[in-house]
């Protein structure tokens, strides 16, 4: 390879790295909030804590097995959302969720029971509309009024929702027919005493009474009680059922926007969902959640959609209707089903993640969010960074003393590695919620130190080649050919160790493993795209080839002595 060709190749590698750095920092400054600051963990910046209190229908204490199962499911949701640095602890009969930052909604969403049922809609009304029965198909009795006299009543609470491949209603629906059962003329039973009327019950007993009262009012089989519950339901108040409804009975429930529904018993349970994912639907210009049912539920759904054209199906999550689309065509068995509503991107992702990993075995009521102060704080962060800086400075001094000006190439490579790591940490915090804690900083320092170790391996291989009598220029490519195998092997071992530690560990140890694995990958990139090209270009420079500059004079002297000894030995043999 000619010198010019080698220089061109080295320049291309450096250009590739420069482009990568440019792309990373363009994303840092021109996407998201544009803040060039990584997210910090609970130990460094504090966080938000929400206490979840178990709500059992009988008022009894939850079993420890149920609490442990709920803890595991919430931790799985944390991993699915990428909410790094969160803590889920069992405290007696409670679960305590702590997340970094001041967003209490994130902690509450992680503790959502997420009991999903799909129920046929019998009646529906908007926040200020009277309840309207679902149309029958075909109509057999009654004298329907002209369609223009009746406003569309199929989607009063969720007008923008639909099911894939369900279509939106395009015009007024038929008015209700008369073959619905007439309201019962039996006397309406007295409403059960609410917990507010009874001062002798507190704690679990009061919760149990609230749930039982709500079931009697909103899950009755008596049409008169259903009508009364639908009319009197106040969707502005907290729902005492909240995931404790009986799926085998009808239900009067609120919608996300305050609409009210009378729903038939469930036809599909959320436990029958095989997979759930969120995406942005370009056609609807909204975020949707896509569901894949198991084979049994898929057949049930196909039959239901085929037999209930122009009727609504409600997706009920924790006793609240999140979407109630109109069925416009049958969904074939095995096809995906789509929930669309007024979801933000984060809300759709959270819902999909919650449905994917299953519902909690218990329902919980959450306390007011409280702020948690940093357990270590800014002083510890500064101390950790100072310790890392001192360690890296010691490495640089060693390289400068031992390798002279070649040590400057080590320093430049380390700086560029740090620049790339910092930008990626900012983006990871923005994209997957990764938070940097003190353990993660330790992983960064160790990983960058390993990058310096790769330089030492490379330089020592160059020395080995020069001891064999080669010049600095010819020793560099041969030394690189030997060193890169060692560097790749060493980094592979480090990455495997970091991956195993990340999978098996919990808590802050995972942060250490993550940053160690990240810096290990970047070590390979920096050595191949920066260090090797810089040293290769230096070997072609007259200035860098001087022994007083590169610190290789002693090695060259050893090579001369070996040649002289070899020449003397050959002369004696002759």
Write phi, then psi, for 100 (nearest 5 degrees): -65, 150
On whether residue 507 sits in a domain, the answer given is yes
Order of strands across the sheet that contains 273-281: 273-281, 286-293, 337-340
Asked if 544 and 400 sit in the same domain, the reply is yes
Range of the domain at 274: 116-182+192-198+206-341
On whether residue 364 sits in a domain, the answer given is no
In sequence order, the β-bridge partners of residue 54 are 364
**Cβ neighbours for 28, distance < 8 A, ≥ 6 positions apart:** 34, 36, 423, 426, 427
Length of the chain: 574
DSSP letter, residue 528: I
Asked if 286 and 393 sit in the same domain, the reply is no
- CA of 267: how far to CAs of 23, 264, 545, in Å? 50, 9, 79
What distance in Å separates the CA atoms of residue 97 and residue 266, rounded to the nearest whole number?
A: 31
What distance in Å separates the CA atoms of residue 287 and residue 510, rounded to the nearest whole number?
A: 31
**Ranges in the chain, pLDDT < 50:** 1-3, 136-162, 164-202
Q: What is the CA radius of gyration of the chain?
A: 34
Q: In the numeric block, which tokens belong to residue 87?
A: 């803590």
What distance in Å separates the CA atoms of residue 387 and residue 225, rounded to the nearest whole number?
A: 70
**Total number of domains in the chain:** 3
Cis peptide before 165 (omega within 30 of 0): yes
Q: Report yes or no: 166 and 127 within 8 Å, Cβ to Cβ.
A: no
Torsion of CA 531, 28, 519, 446, to 10 degrees: 100
What is the reported pLDDT for 242?
83
Q: Report yes or no: 301 and 163 within 8 Å, Cβ to Cβ.
A: no
Angle at the Cα of 487 from the Cα atoms of 483 and 493, rounded to 5 degrees: 150
- Choosing from 110, 132, 152, the residue where a domain stops is 110
Q: Report yes or no: 214 and 192 within 8 Å, Cβ to Cβ.
A: no
Asked if 488 and 471 sit in the same domain, the reply is yes
What is the reported pLDDT for 191?
41
Asked if 102 and 135 sit in the same domain, the reply is no
Asked if 225 and 162 sit in the same domain, the reply is yes
What distance in Å separates the CA atoms of residue 233 and residue 321, rounded to the nearest whole number?
A: 14
Asked if 157 and 253 sit in the same domain, the reply is yes
Q: In the numeric block, which tokens belong to residue 464?
A: 């080995």
Give the CATH number, domain containing residue 515. Answer: 1.20.1640.10
- CA of 287: how far to CAs of 168, 257, 290, 410, in Å? 16, 17, 10, 48
Write phi, then psi, for 541 (nearest 5 degrees): -100, 135
Q: Report yes or no: 310 and 358 within 8 Å, Cβ to Cβ.
A: no
DSSP letter, residue 170: -
Asked if 31 and 47 sit in the same domain, the reply is no
Going by C-alpha positions, the residue among 225, 218, 215, 208 that lies closest to residue 253 is 218
What is the reported pLDDT for 492?
94
Give the CATH number, domain containing residue 80. Answer: 3.30.70.3220
On whether residue 368 sits in a domain, the answer given is no
Asked if 158 and 88 sit in the same domain, the reply is no
Write phi, then psi, for 558 (nearest 5 degrees): -60, -40
What is the reported pLDDT for 466?
87
Going by C-alpha positions, the residue among 414, 432, 443, 360 that lies closest to residue 95 is 360
Asked if 238 and 276 sit in the same domain, the reply is yes
Asked if 289 and 150 sit in the same domain, the reply is yes
What distance in Å separates the CA atoms of residue 76 and residue 93, rounded to the nearest whole number?
A: 20
Q: In the numeric block, which tokens belong to residue 400?
A: 């400068």
On whether residue 362 sits in a domain, the answer given is no
What is the reported pLDDT for 168?
37
DSSP string, 176-213: P-TTSPPPP-SPPPPPPPPGGG-SS--HHHHHHHHHHH
On whether residue 146 sits in a domain, the answer given is yes
- Choosing from 86, 110, 134, the residue where a domain stops is 110
Q: In the numeric block, which tokens belong to residue 266?
A: 């469930």
On whether residue 358 sits in a domain, the answer given is no
- Choosing from 110, 142, 163, the residue where a domain stops is 110
Asked if 165 and 304 sit in the same domain, the reply is yes
Interhelix angle for 223-232 vs 203-218, to 10°? Answer: 120
On whether residue 348 sits in a domain, the answer given is no
Cis peptide before 138 (omega within 30 of 0): yes
What distance in Å separates the CA atoms of residue 97 and residue 90, rounded to the nearest whole number?
A: 9
What is the reported pLDDT for 6?
55
Going by C-alpha positions, the residue among 82, 168, 157, 151 that lies closest to residue 342 is 157
Asked if 222 and 81 sit in the same domain, the reply is no
On whether residue 176 sits in a domain, the answer given is yes
**Model pTM greater than 0.85?**
no
């Amino acid at each position: 390879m000619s010198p010019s060709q080698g220089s061109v190749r080295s320049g291309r590698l450096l250009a590739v790295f420069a482009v990568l750095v440019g792309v990373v920092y363009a994303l840092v400054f021109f996407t998201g909030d544009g803040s060039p600051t990584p997210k910090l963990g609970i130990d460094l910046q504090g966080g938000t804590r929400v206490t979840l209190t178990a709500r059992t229908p009988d008022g009894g204490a939850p079993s420890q097995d149920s609490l442990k199962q709920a803890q595991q499911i919430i931790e799985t949701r944390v991993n699915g959302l990428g909410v790094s640095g969160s803590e889920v602890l069992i405290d007696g009969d409670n679960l305590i969720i702590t997340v970094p930052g001041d967003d209490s909604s994130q902690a509450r969403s992680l503790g959502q029971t997420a009991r999903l049922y799909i129920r046929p809609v019998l009646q529906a009304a908007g926040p200020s509309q009277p309840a309207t029965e679902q149309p029958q198909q075909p109509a057999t009795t009654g004298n329907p009024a002209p369609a223009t006299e009746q406003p569309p009543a199929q989607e009063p609470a969720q007008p923008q929702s639909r099911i894939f491949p369900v279509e939106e209603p395009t015009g007024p629906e038929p008015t209700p027919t008369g073959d619905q059962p007439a309201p019962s003329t039996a006397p309406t039973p007295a409403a059960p005493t609410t917990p507010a009327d009874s001062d002798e019950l507190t704690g679990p007993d009061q919760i149990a009474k609230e749930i039982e009262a709500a079931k009697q009012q909103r899950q009755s089989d008596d049409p008169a009680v259903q009508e009364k519950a639908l009319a009197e339901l106040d969707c502005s108040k907290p729902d005492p059922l909240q995931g404790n409804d009986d799926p085998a009975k009808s239900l009067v429930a609120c919608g996300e926007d305050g609409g009210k529904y009378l729903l038939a018993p469930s036809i599909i349970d959320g436990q029958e969902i095989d997979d759930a994912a969120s995406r942005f639907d370009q056609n609807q210009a909204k975020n949707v959640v896509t569901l894949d049912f198991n084979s049994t539920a898929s057949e049930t759904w196909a039959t239901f959609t085929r037999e209930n054209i122009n009727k609504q199906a409600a997706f009920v999550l924790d006793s609240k209707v999140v979407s109630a689309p109109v069925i416009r065509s049958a969904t074939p068995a095995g096809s995906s089903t789509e929930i669309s509503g007024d979801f933000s991107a984060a809300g759709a992702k959270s819902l999909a993640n919650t449905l994917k990993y299953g519902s909690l075995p218990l329902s919980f009521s959450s306390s007011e969010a409280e702020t948690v102060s940093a357990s270590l704080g800014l002083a510890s962060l500064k101390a950790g960074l100072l310790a890392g800086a001192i360690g890296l400075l010691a490495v640089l001094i060693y390289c400068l003393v031992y390798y002279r000006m070649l040590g400057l190439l080590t320093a430049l490579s380390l700086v560029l590695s740090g620049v790339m790591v910092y930008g990626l940490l900012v983006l990871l915090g923005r994209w997957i919620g990764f938070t940097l804690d003190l353990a993660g900083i330790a992983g960064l320092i160790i990983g960058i130190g390993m990058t310096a170790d790769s330089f030492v391996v490379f330089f020592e291989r160059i020395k080995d080649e020069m001891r064999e009598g080669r010049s600095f220029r010819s020793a560099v490519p041969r030394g690189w050919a030997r060193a890169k195998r060692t560097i790749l092997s060493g980094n592979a071992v480090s990455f495997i160790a970091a991956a195993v530690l990340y999978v098996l560990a919990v808590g802050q140890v995972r942060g250490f493993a993550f940053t160690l694995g990240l810096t290990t990958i970047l070590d390979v990139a920096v050595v191949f795209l920066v260090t090797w090209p810089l040293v290769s270009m230096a070997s072609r420079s007259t200035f860098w080839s001087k022994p007083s500059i590169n610190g290789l004079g002693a090695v060259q002297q050893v090579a001369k002595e070996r040649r002289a000894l070899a020449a003397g030995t050959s002369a004696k043999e002759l």
